[in-house]
Structure 1
Amino acid sequence: MTESNGSAAPDQQEQNRSMPDWEKRFRAPRVSLPDWAEDAPDRSLFVSNATGTYELYAWDRATGEQRQVTDRPNGTTDGVLSPDGAWIWWFDDKDGDEFGVWRRQPFAGGEDELATPGLDPSYPAGLALGRDGRTAIVGRSTDDEGTTIHLARLNEPPAELYRHRESAGVGDLSHDGSLIAVEHTEHGDAMHSALRVLRPDGSAVAELDDTKGGTEELGLEVLGFAPVDGDTRLLVGHQRRGRWEPLVWDVATGEETDLVLDLPGDVSAEWYPDGSGLLVAHSHEARSELFRYDLTSHDLTRIPTPQGTVSGATARPDGTVEFLWSSAAQPSTVRSTTGEIVLDPPGMKSPGSVPVEDVWVDGPGGRIHALLQKPAGSTSPLPTVFDIHGGPTWHDSDAFAAGPAAWVDHGYAVIRVNYRGSTGYGRAWTDALKHRVGLIELEDIAAVREWAVTSGLADPDRLILTGGSWGGYLTLLGLGTQPDAWTLGIAAVPVADYVTAYHDEMEALKAMDRTLLGGTPEEVPDRFEASSPLTYVDKVMSPVYISAGVNDPRCPIRQIDNYVKRLEARDAVHEVYRYDAGHGSLVVDERIKQIRLELDFAARHLNA
């Protein structure tokens, strides 16, 4: 990112001209929304793939200087600026296994050092840094200990503040460092957190728990303490009206101020730097927009943004708002309410793609929202890719995505389904997949598939089911439970053998699986069996392509190997690609290789 915006060398220009658009979308330099230091707002931190690997970059806005902070073979994306802007903290794991330690580096550059001596390696469970420059609240998760939260001060041994077998995490540290907000699931439901506020000595100040006293458990999330010394207000997300909305909780008095905003869909918020208002992010039907909410007048004012998706936003001290925006047709850019592009990386620019069309299909659990892209000027019926999102608590949106665009470039229609379990359509829709995990989602996918075929859009003899992570899991499960519905399947980093995956995965995901399925494999074996792709592997008739990271802690390699052995035992048509990384890759060349292999697999087997 330190190179100039000058022209590329002639040989590079020729290479860029001959490169297909789908590959350019992966190679074109892109940047995340810059984070900035609370007490030194000219100092920022962002992620970029400028070198071909996603790494952290420091940006001094006063001088314009940008420098690469991390440089690791498998990339780095987890980083935090200290409030004084003096230090960059980054998480150091091994080859994408997500198990490691926090290190820190001076903002201006220098040697990395262990940030929290005395804390053993773990999975991260949140981090909050104090404004005094010497205090950190560090969350850790391990298979042996569950979750622990520690107070780490410079030149002092870490002090344990919290410990529990169930999953938890650091929410925030108050502006003056006197209060610590923790999200926890001690009640055993990993999908719905309760909140506890502690003092630095570990004593409890207040508790907010919406999982008690009702017929349904409701979740809470920490959105942040007020950015004012001595202010005990905590901004909280809640689900009391069936969707995510913000409220202000004064943890000292217990007073709750509900912010009733007349907006459909999910609503989140964060503080303006002076504490006078909230930057509101509103997500509805796969698109999002921004507002300013004045805490004194209660006025809600829309902040103009183009139609599409705002992936992140931050209010600056001068009152402007910076946001990362894209649409399915237009690549992401970091914009400001001043009208300027905030951060424009040098080098090749990403080609755009085709816009999405909204599709609504009646399903067994209600109306299903799907997003459709198809090649410009194409004639139906088309070979069609059902690209299923991960999570499952996530949703596809009208945002730029290089993967679906690559399929469109090669003549495929692409349909992305926001099945039950997806966020953005209310709590009941998200929570609906419990106990019949995987099978619920596939009912919705089947309904959209039926619409695609009967409408004439999709060629029933050329239907691809694909996805990564949870989407990869649904791909394998769908090939086994709906063997006549799909021409072939392409699963990236999937759950393939649910029982083995449970025993090998990171502790936080074990807690999520217990919540989704109602217990462990030993307690509810029938549910694990019904939801496991391995149960149906002998019914799979379509060619299967699987890619997997050998260091993946979320969908571990052993359970994938178990599934592949069953395919091999009956000579089922399949291909497997294993790569040296974790749950996906941060290396551009590796990602391009994977897409090329998937496109090649599809072309060979659809033509056959």
Structure 2
Amino acid sequence: MQHGVDIESYYDLRLLAEVSVSPDGERVAFTAEESDPAADEHRTGLYVAPTDGSRDPHRLTRASTASSPTWGPDGVTLAFLAARDTDLDRRRGRADEADGEPDETDADEDAERDGNGGNGSNGENSDGKPQVWAFDLARGGDARQLTAFEHGIKEFDLAPDGDRLVVAARDPTEEEEGYLEQREDGGPIEVTRLQHKRDGAGWLDDVTTYLFVGGLDAEDADAESFDRLDDAYGAGSSEPLAGLQPAWGPTGRIAFTTCVDDDPDDSGAYDVCTIAPDGSDRRVVTDGSLRCGSPTWSPDGDRLAFDGSNYDNWYEPNEAYVAPDEAGAAFESVSAELDRTLARSGAPRWLDGETVVVPIADEAWTRLAVCPVDGEPRRAFTRQGRDRTIAAFDLAGDTVALGLTGADQPPDVYAVPGAELREDDAGGPTRRLSTLNDEWLDERAEGLPDCGVVAYENGDGEEIEAVVYYPSDFDVDADEPAPTICSIHGGPMSYDAPGFRFDVAYWTSRGYVVAKPNYRGSTSYGRAFSESLKGTRGELESDDVISAMEHLVDEGVADPDRLFCTGFSYGGITTAHVVTRTDMFAAAAPEHGVYDFYSNFGTDDNHNWHQWEFGMPWENEALYRDISSITRVGDIDTPLLITAGEEDWRCPPTQAEQLYVSVRKQGIDAKLVIYPDEHHNIGTPERATHRIEELTEWFETHDPGVAEGASGASD
């Protein structure tokens, strides 16, 4: 039996992504991401399972990636987004329309027009244009194609009548179409928008995304068969990533999100709106004071629950709000009394007409909260345990579906009756519906980490928590101190909770302890804790990181000569600040970070945030210099591995170059790794594993214990 986690085992994992409960609560659809080594791609398969656990999940898609599983009102129609080979009936129909007889020439022309390359070798469009597809689970068979928009579909929802759908799609004018063709041919980038780029979306253009309404008849899948809702369109700096989030309510109205400000690119506002399916009677429900998302209709369709946050203070908790479907409605938070932010593992859901359920970030944990519209919110599911956290959530038909994960358990799907949420001391999920990685886990049963939440004092005497992962055979009380990696979360509006991470399991299987501090600014300890970071950079977070490692050294867990530090995004920013303050780390790896906020302004996609928190750099130059680790780069003596994505518009690669050259000029051992054509996150399986190997090799190269043959991390 294999007891370790080797790098190749990454390719055998399936990681849960989304869960969606059918309207009657009897089935759950879910997606799970896995690796395709031959194509060096991640693919996401679609599964369905009965929520009573009576049989194992059935896999519906294999060849192409599927996302956004959405149930029809009948509970047997299951729609999803995918970039698949064009439906054969549609291809034949186009040929018949052309000359009455399909032939190879017609098929080739259709393939070129649809971007399929003519062979459909892996079942996906080569240009990656997703469309809406749907399975009929009562009849069986393959999915049928419901849309055929030239530029693809971004989002969709099904109507309560079961006969229509609403989609969000780009609709360029003739002039804009010409520009898009020019760009495809390598022409110049021309931008007139203030929000000139977005990470993951690249350089932005002026093409507007609209909502369209059409039927579920596959023969009417072309855009010409859909009606455009001219008053339902995307705008604002958030729209390229947040989308319009259409939600079709039980009374027939459609909710969506957009920015209605006069200068939307210079605003953080994102409002909830509703509109009739014929495009009439648009109502702006919220008042421009919040950044809203995930609108969800109440069972009778007279109210909406949504996620709302203060866009002028990103450190305030996101809260669950409820508003009537009225223009300029009076809306109220139903979760404010908890002083906890909504987690990203699921949108607000209605338990009944008077109760909303949301996942919340609660210290080093993600759990559910039950929020009555008229009453006090409360935490739920006491049996969930602090060793498991919620990675995905949905609720429908009195059934709750959760993706639960632990340090030694990749996420799986669990179900529990919604009735338990109505109890003051609700128990928690006990019915497991999926076993996505049981074989993988059995082969590594003795090599997966143990985990605990450790409390310690920082330099200011405040209590901070860190999630600490230990090698499976590590005895805190008896073993010699171990080499220890401090892995810092990004955000900073984020937090760490015990959960499965491949890089952590890989490191612990090689003898490392891995510590993940929830430094000041983390969002799961209430507004005051999160907001303590407001207007600052570097000092508070680095103190909390250094104090965590000092605590683990004092407790005999961490070897003081074999400490390492890394972090991604804001974790990279913090890593750089840490090594300007201390030489305690044998090596460090700031990944995809910002190190000079002054020179960075306007080169990333976060200028609105930086303006809100720090003002304009030409007006507050001293502040921008002070919050930048590059200002104190002369104090760095720690060997640095510095990484970046070549097309990262969140933390541009020029930042990594600047830090790299600055430390190399001082004779510090350093290495720069740039991932070509990569955005802020690491994309392909090969690059994901390369990143882990690069970090591990950097730490081991500078580990005196490896050189001396000490126990602990392997070479």
**TM-score of the pair, normalised by structure 1:** 0.78
Offset of residue 493 of structure 1: 2.4
* Partner residue of 1:150 out of 210, 213, 237: 210
Give, as a single letter, the amino acid of the residue that structure 2 aligns with 1:106.
W
Answering whether residue 525 of structure 2 is matched by residue 425 of structure 1, we say yes
Answering whether residue 453 of structure 2 is matched by residue 460 of structure 1, we say no
Query: Would you say the 8 A contact 1:118–1:157 is kept in 2?
Result: no
Answering whether residue 272 of structure 2 is matched by residue 180 of structure 1, we say no
Mean CA deviation greater in 235-244 or 435-444: 235-244
Query: Would you say the 8 A contact 1:82–1:89 is kept in 2?
Result: no
Give the secondary-structure state (helix, strand or coil) at the position aligned to 1:403: helix
Offset of residue 570 of structure 1: 3.9
Offset of residue 203 of structure 1: 6.7
* Partner residue of 2:591 out of 492, 496, 500: 492
Q: In structure 2, what is the Cα distance between the partners aligned to 1:566 and 1:299?
A: 51
Q: In structure 1, what is the Cα distance between the partners aligned to 2:151 and 2:511?
A: 55
Aligned to 1:249: 323
Give the secondary-structure state (helix, strand or coil) at the position aligned to 2:703: helix
Aligned to 2:415: 336
Aligned to 2:393: 313
Mean CA deviation greater in 378-387 or 295-304: 295-304
Offset of residue 235 of structure 1: 4.0
- Relative to 1, partners in 2 of residues 1:87 and 1:259: Cα closer, same or farther, differing over 3 Å? closer
1:538-577 → structure 2 map (5 Å cutoff): 538-577=634-673
Aligned to 2:685: 588
- Relative to 1, partners in 2 of residues 1:563 and 1:331: Cα closer, same or farther, differing over 3 Å? same
Give, as a single letter, the amino acid of the residue that structure 2 aligns with 1:57.
G
Deviations 1:530-559 (A, max 9, x none): 333433334321111123333433233333
Give the secondary-structure state (helix, strand or coil) at the position aligned to 1:444: helix
Q: In structure 1, what is the Cα distance between the partners aligned to 2:391 and 2:340?
A: 16
- Relative to 1, partners in 2 of residues 1:280 and 1:385: Cα closer, same or farther, differing over 3 Å? same
Offset of residue 265 of structure 1: 3.8
Offset of residue 48 of structure 1: 1.9
- Relative to 1, partners in 2 of residues 1:538 and 1:78: Cα closer, same or farther, differing over 3 Å? farther
- Relative to 1, partners in 2 of residues 1:554 and 1:410: Cα closer, same or farther, differing over 3 Å? same
Give, as a single letter, the amino acid of the residue that structure 1 aligns with 2:362.
H
Offset of residue 389 of structure 1: 0.4
Give, as a single letter, the amino acid of the residue that structure 2 aligns with 1:44.
A
Give the secondary-structure state (helix, strand or coil) at the position aligned to 2:465: strand
Mean CA deviation greater in 293-302 or 488-497: 293-302
Aligned to 2:92: none
- Relative to 1, partners in 2 of residues 1:515 and 1:195: Cα closer, same or farther, differing over 3 Å? same
Aligned to 1:12: none
Give, as a single letter, the amino acid of the residue that structure 1 aligns with 2:487.
D
Aligned to 1:197: 273
Q: In structure 2, what is the Cα distance between the partners aligned to 1:236 and 1:325?
A: 22
Answering whether residue 440 of structure 2 is matched by residue 348 of structure 1, we say yes
Answering whether residue 230 of structure 2 is matched by residue 133 of structure 1, we say no
Give the secondary-structure state (helix, strand or coil) at the position aligned to 1:461: strand
1:56-75 → structure 2 map (5 Å cutoff): 56-61=44-49, 65-68=58-61, 71=64
Query: Would you say the 8 A contact 1:242–1:427 is kept in 2?
Result: yes
Query: Would you say the 8 A contact 2:23–2:396 is kept in 1?
Result: no
Structure in which a larger fraction of residues adopt strand? 1
Offset of residue 264 of structure 1: 6.5
Give, as a single letter, the amino acid of the residue that structure 1 aligns with 2:34.
N
Deviations 1:480-532 (A, max 9, x none): x2143432111222334445544443x3x33333333333x444433333333
Answering whether residue 81 of structure 2 is matched by residue 89 of structure 1, we say yes
Aligned to 2:475: 377
Give the number of aligned pairs.
565
Q: In structure 1, what is the Cα distance between the partners aligned to 2:259 and 2:456?
A: 36
Give the secondary-structure state (helix, strand or coil) at the position aligned to 1:21: coil
Query: Would you say the 8 A contact 1:278–1:294 is kept in 2?
Result: yes
Q: In structure 2, what is the Cα distance between the partners aligned to 1:545 and 1:330?
A: 30
Q: In structure 2, what is the Cα distance between the partners aligned to 1:425 and 1:569?
A: 41
Offset of residue 172 of structure 1: 4.5
Offset of residue 55 of structure 1: 1.6
Query: Would you say the 8 A contact 1:81–1:89 is kept in 2?
Result: no
Offset of residue 327 of structure 1: 2.1
Offset of residue 460 of structure 1: 3.3
- Relative to 1, partners in 2 of residues 1:242 and 1:605: Cα closer, same or farther, differing over 3 Å? closer
Query: Would you say the 8 A contact 1:174–1:227 is kept in 2?
Result: no
Aligned to 1:517: 614
Answering whether residue 402 of structure 2 is matched by residue 323 of structure 1, we say yes
Query: Would you say the 8 A contact 1:407–1:414 is kept in 2?
Result: yes
* Partner residue of 1:409 out of 501, 509, 513: 509
Aligned to 1:270: 348
- Relative to 1, partners in 2 of residues 1:198 and 1:439: Cα closer, same or farther, differing over 3 Å? farther
Offset of residue 129 of structure 1: 2.7
Give, as a single letter, the amino acid of the residue that structure 1 aligns with 2:406.
S
Query: Would you say the 8 A contact 1:83–1:133 is kept in 2?
Result: no
Give, as a single letter, the amino acid of the residue that structure 2 aligns with 1:66.
R
Query: Would you say the 8 A contact 1:137–1:152 is kept in 2?
Result: yes
- Relative to 1, partners in 2 of residues 1:243 and 1:149: Cα closer, same or farther, differing over 3 Å? same
Q: In structure 1, what is the Cα distance between the partners aligned to 2:17 and 2:235?
A: 34
Greater Rg over alpha carbons, structure: 2
Give the secondary-structure state (helix, strand or coil) at the position aligned to 1:345: coil
Give the secondary-structure state (helix, strand or coil) at the position aligned to 1:49: strand
Aligned to 1:26: 10
Give the secondary-structure state (helix, strand or coil) at the position aligned to 1:416: strand
Q: In structure 2, what is the Cα distance between the partners aligned to 1:61 and 1:357?
A: 34
Give, as a single letter, the amino acid of the residue that structure 2 aligns with 1:56.
T
Give, as a single letter, the amino acid of the residue that structure 2 aligns with 1:58.
L
- Relative to 1, partners in 2 of residues 1:523 and 1:57: Cα closer, same or farther, differing over 3 Å? farther
Offset of residue 354 of structure 1: 0.8
Q: In structure 2, what is the Cα distance between the partners aligned to 1:33 and 1:545?
A: 30
* Partner residue of 1:107 out of 121, 124, 134: 134
- Relative to 1, partners in 2 of residues 1:545 and 1:193: Cα closer, same or farther, differing over 3 Å? same
Query: Would you say the 8 A contact 2:459–2:544 is kept in 1?
Result: yes
Query: Would you say the 8 A contact 2:69–2:78 is kept in 1?
Result: no
**TM-score of the pair, normalised by structure 2:** 0.67
Give the secondary-structure state (helix, strand or coil) at the position aligned to 1:395: coil
Query: Would you say the 8 A contact 1:209–1:220 is kept in 2?
Result: no
Offset of residue 199 of structure 1: 2.9
Deviations 1:433-478 (A, max 9, x none): 2332334322332333443445554333332121112112221232
Query: Would you say the 8 A contact 1:280–1:290 is kept in 2?
Result: yes
Give, as a single letter, the amino acid of the residue that structure 2 aligns with 1:226.
W
Q: In structure 1, what is the Cα distance between the partners aligned to 2:484 and 2:266?
A: 35
Q: Percent of pairs identical after alignment?
A: 19
Q: In structure 2, what is the Cα distance between the partners aligned to 1:167 and 1:206?
A: 17
Aligned to 1:11: none
Query: Would you say the 8 A contact 1:322–1:342 is kept in 2?
Result: no
Q: In structure 1, what is the Cα distance between the partners aligned to 2:463 and 2:375?
A: 37
Question: Where in structure 1 are there 5+ consecutive unaligned residues?
Answer: 1-16, 94-99, 212-218
Offset of residue 335 of structure 1: 1.5
Aligned to 2:701: 604
Offset of residue 399 of structure 1: 1.6
1:291-310 → structure 2 map (5 Å cutoff): 302-303=380-381, 304-307=383-386, 308-310=388-390
Q: In structure 1, what is the Cα distance between the partners aligned to 2:460 and 2:412?
A: 38
- Relative to 1, partners in 2 of residues 1:19 and 1:365: Cα closer, same or farther, differing over 3 Å? closer
Deviations 1:95-153 (A, max 9, x none): xxxxx98511523557989864468x9xx8xx453525342245997535689652234
- Relative to 1, partners in 2 of residues 1:114 and 1:576: Cα closer, same or farther, differing over 3 Å? farther
Aligned to 2:303: 232
